[in-house]
Chain A
Amino acid sequence: MYKYNDFDEAFVRERVAQFRAQVQRRIDGALTEDEFKPLRLMNGLYLQLHAYMLRVAVPYGTLNPGQMRQLAMLAERFDRGYGHFTTRQNIQYNWPKLQDVPDMLDALADVEMHAIQTSGNTIRNVTSDHFAGAAADEIEDPRPYAELLRQWSTDHPEFQFLPRKFKIAVTGAPNDRAVVRAHDIGLQIVKNDSGETGFKVIIGGGLGRTPMVGKVIRDFLPKADLLPYVEAIVSVYNLLGRRDNKYKARIKITVHENGLDKITRLVEARFVELRPHFQGADVALLERIAAQFAPPPLPEVGLGAFEQAFDSDPVFRAWVDSNVAEHRVPGHAIVTISLKAHGQTPGDATAEQMRVMADLAEAFGHHELRISHEQNVILPHVARADLYAIHARLRAAGLATANAGLISDIIACPGMDYCALATARSIPVAQQIATRFDALKLEHDIGPLKIKISGCINACGHHHVGHIGILGLDRAGVENYQITLGGTGTEDMVVGDRTGPGFAYDQIVPAIERIIATYLDQREAPEETFLDAYRRLGMAPFKAALYPVEKAHAA
């Protein structure tokens, strides 16, 4: 993975020193809160419902064991013994004290991490496929490009005060695991007819108040043109994007209001202007970065005790079936460590669990860990022969829940339990759904199903692209939950359809149960997934199950 050079090190340290002085000036009264707030946000520090919250970037979701151990140390020393992994591959600490934050940032700098541009109207943490470098379907590892974008966008003088926040995601595989079509810019590595590798460039995607599927602005962009082209897009947006209305300020609205044709013309013209200025420095830098992402040596190894354990241990088998994915090298595998134990807070890991995951990455996983946007942790490179040993260690740490991609593998934003913007709670809804379907023992029978829950319209929980999406709102002083069906965040991204009126807090889990009962009843075969069944059946049977009284009236 990428190793900081002297410049990176000095830059991050200087920012910490600056922020330390800013915090002191706020405490002494030399800075007002209005003056201090943008400074703390630039360094990832929010003030939430009950406490400050520090959002730390995990660039493109990649961590080494030393970094994970440092995150554990921070959780223990400055928080309440845990951290929360988010849908943007970040980690959030929910209970830091203001005076401690500079020390936290220094401790992060010790392991080449930071919280820069995890907030504010800037280019945020560049996210990526959590299976990058390991997936069997991958054309090329997207992370060197993500790192190049991170370096280019960090403190970019032109883009510190954009109309609104700006999110970029990169994937190297045709199966989109990084939700690139829901980003301001989505980059997908593709091959053209002559076999060259480049990018399909997608812009104007997003969720939130006005969900939009991203539109392709370039079918094929040569790799060497990445930075000037992305800079052209952000530059056009910076001038054209609306600053009069926060809700119309994201690039998705700029593209929608101006039309893709006009935006394309402007971007291409700006690209022609910008391209000569790069003079190949970006390409040279990319080469240096790419060398640091060389894949680990993965010799073709035998399966060892794997097959015998798989045949004889049903708990292990269930976990392999749901949490182990195909690796590009035979004999190896990608492990998803579920942070969704039934009844636990989605995405939370204790300091002790973080250390266990760090140890496993060191012992079995070529020192690599990933954070997924689905709020799980990934060991991208392990030998199948080691899976049984890994499973045993995970089990002892409460990390072996066999539910990746199933109904209890729920994305949930922090919601009103933590977030100052939230209009309703998300976490307890996720906990109750997971606990309920675990008790019913239906999870594996239901099969692949993505439930995503947001506690407000900003959609951090990606509810629009959940097969079942849940949106928590405040309706006349009471929590109310709207349901959407049929959304998906993959390469065929679709925004889900609203079922109708929302449900009260104590009615939302029964409502989800009625949806699932309808699916189980009406699916053609166990192989027909919920999403496929919804696409075949449409909304009607689910609506009938959700709103039985209305149906009686209609009859």
Chain B
Amino acid sequence: MPKPFSPKVVTANALLEGDVVYLTAGDEWTRHLHEAELLQDEAQASQRLLDAEMRPLEVVGPYLADARASDAGPRPVHFREEFRAAGPSNYNHGKQEEHA
């Protein structure tokens, strides 16, 4: 049995600032994970990643990260994605704070 597909978001770093960004359903890059498009099936996820890879002037290193649905939008699954979404834990310096 193949492993069931777990939901994903497309994420990357912005080319100019390096900020963590996520792809929205409206093809925008957002700094906020909860605004990202949650991709529920594998074919759709692959397609959206390809879309992101076609935008090298905007982002660096796009990839699919596990995420789960919540009332407030997608939430991280792995702790690495939690830190990427929230910023470092030693200072209140996450860029997400700045853009919030």
A417/B90 in contact, CB under 8 A: yes
B89/A417 in contact, CB under 8 A: yes
B18/A98 in contact, CB under 8 A: yes
A33/B79 in contact, CB under 8 A: no
**Chain A positions 455 through 481: 1 when the CB is less than 8 Å from some CB of chain B, otherwise 0:** 000000000000000000010011100
**Chain A positions 274 through 308: 1 when the CB is less than 8 Å from some CB of chain B, otherwise 0:** 00000000000000000000000000000000000
With A80-B93, A478-B79 known as contacts, the answer to whether A417 contacts B88 (CB < 8 A) is yes
In chain A, residues 428-473, which have Cβ atoms closer than 8 Å to a Cβ of chain B?
A: 428, 431
Set of chain A residues within 8 Å of B93, measured between Cβ atoms: 50, 80, 94-95
In chain B, residues 71-100, which have Cβ atoms closer than 8 Å to a Cβ of chain A?
A: 77-80, 83-84, 87-91, 93-95
In chain A, residues 378-436, which have Cβ atoms closer than 8 Å to a Cβ of chain B?
A: 416-418, 425, 427-428, 431
A32/B90 in contact, CB under 8 A: no
> Which segment of B22-30, B38-46, B54-62 sits at the interface?
B54-62
Set of chain B residues within 8 Å of A50, measured between Cβ atoms: 18-20, 84, 87-88, 93-95
B57/A345 in contact, CB under 8 A: no
A477/B56 in contact, CB under 8 A: no
With A416-B80, A427-B89, A477-B78 known as contacts, the answer to whether A47 contacts B61 (CB < 8 A) is yes
Question: How near does chain B come to A250, taking the closest CB pair, in angstroms?
Answer: 25
Q: Within the complex, which residue of B15, B57, B83, B90 is in contact with A49, where a contact is CB–CB below 8 Å?
A: B83
Set of chain B residues within 8 Å of A309, measured between Cβ atoms: none
Nearest-neighbor residue (CB-CB) of B85 within chain A: A50
Set of chain B residues within 8 Å of A32, measured between Cβ atoms: 56
Set of chain A residues within 8 Å of B88, measured between Cβ atoms: 50, 417-418, 427
Nearest-neighbor residue (CB-CB) of A52 within chain B: B18
A416/B83 in contact, CB under 8 A: yes
Please tell me the number of chain B residues within 8 Å of chain A, measured between CB atoms: 25
A29 at the interface (CB under 8 A from B): yes
B60/A47 in contact, CB under 8 A: yes
Query: When chains A and B are docked, how far (Å) is the Cα of A10 from the Cα of B18?
Result: 30
B57/A29 in contact, CB under 8 A: yes
Query: When chains A and B are docked, how far (Å) is the Cα of A94 from the Cα of B19?
Result: 12
A431/B18 in contact, CB under 8 A: no
A509 at the interface (CB under 8 A from B): no
Query: When chains A and B are docked, how far (Å) is the Cα of A111 from the Cα of B13?
Result: 31
B19/A51 in contact, CB under 8 A: yes
A479/B79 in contact, CB under 8 A: yes
A192 at the interface (CB under 8 A from B): no
Set of chain B residues within 8 Å of A94, measured between Cβ atoms: 93
B15/A97 in contact, CB under 8 A: no
Set of chain A residues within 8 Å of B95, measured between Cβ atoms: 50-51
Q: Within the complex, which residue of A27, A416, A478 is in contact with B16, where a contact is CB–CB below 8 Å?
A: A27
Set of chain A residues within 8 Å of B13, measured between Cβ atoms: 47, 51
Question: How near does chain B come to A392, taking the closest CB pair, in angstroms?
Answer: 28
Nearest-neighbor residue (CB-CB) of A46 within chain B: B18
Question: How near does chain B come to A94, taking the closest CB pair, in angstroms?
Answer: 8
Nearest-neighbor residue (CB-CB) of B60 within chain A: A33
**Chain B positions 8 through 19: 1 when the CB is less than 8 Å from some CB of chain A, otherwise 0:** 000001011111
Set of chain B residues within 8 Å of A478, measured between Cβ atoms: 79
A48 at the interface (CB under 8 A from B): yes
Q: Within the complex, which residue of A51, A416, A417, A479 is in contact with B18, where a contact is CB–CB below 8 Å?
A: A51
Question: How near does chain A come to B63, taking the closest CB pair, in angstroms?
Answer: 12
Set of chain A residues within 8 Å of B16, measured between Cβ atoms: 27, 97-99
Query: When chains A and B are docked, how far (Å) is the Cα of A29 from the Cα of B57?
Result: 6
Query: When chains A and B are docked, how far (Å) is the Cα of A537 from the Cα of B13?
Result: 50
Query: When chains A and B are docked, how far (Å) is the Cα of A427 from the Cα of B95?
Result: 19
Query: When chains A and B are docked, how far (Å) is the Cα of A478 from the Cα of B83?
Result: 13
Question: How near does chain A come to B27, taking the closest CB pair, in angstroms?
Answer: 19
Set of chain B residues within 8 Å of A29, measured between Cβ atoms: 56-57
Nearest-neighbor residue (CB-CB) of A343 within chain B: B90
With A49-B83, A345-B90, A418-B88 known as contacts, the answer to whether A33 contacts B61 (CB < 8 A) is yes
Most B C-beta atoms less than 10 A away, residue of A32, A418, A431? A418
Set of chain A residues within 8 Å of B18, measured between Cβ atoms: 47-48, 50-52, 95, 97-98
User: What are 27 contact pairs spanning A and B, CB under 8 A?
Assistant: A29-B57, A32-B56, A33-B61, A49-B80, A49-B83, A50-B18, A50-B87, A50-B88, A50-B94, A51-B18, A51-B95, A52-B18, A80-B93, A97-B17, A98-B15, A98-B17, A98-B18, A345-B91, A416-B79, A416-B83, A417-B83, A417-B89, A425-B83, A427-B90, A428-B90, A431-B90, A477-B78
Using CB atoms and an 8 Å cutoff, list the residues of chain B in contact with chain A: 13, 15-20, 56-57, 60-61, 77-80, 83-84, 87-91, 93-95
Q: Which 6 residue pairs spanning A and B have beta carbons closest together? A: A417-B88, A51-B18, A52-B18, A427-B90, A345-B90, A29-B57
Other A-B contacts than A32-B56, A50-B20, 14 sampled, CB-CB below 8 A, are: A27-B16, A47-B13, A47-B18, A49-B80, A50-B84, A50-B93, A50-B95, A51-B18, A95-B93, A417-B83, A418-B88, A477-B77, A477-B79, A479-B79
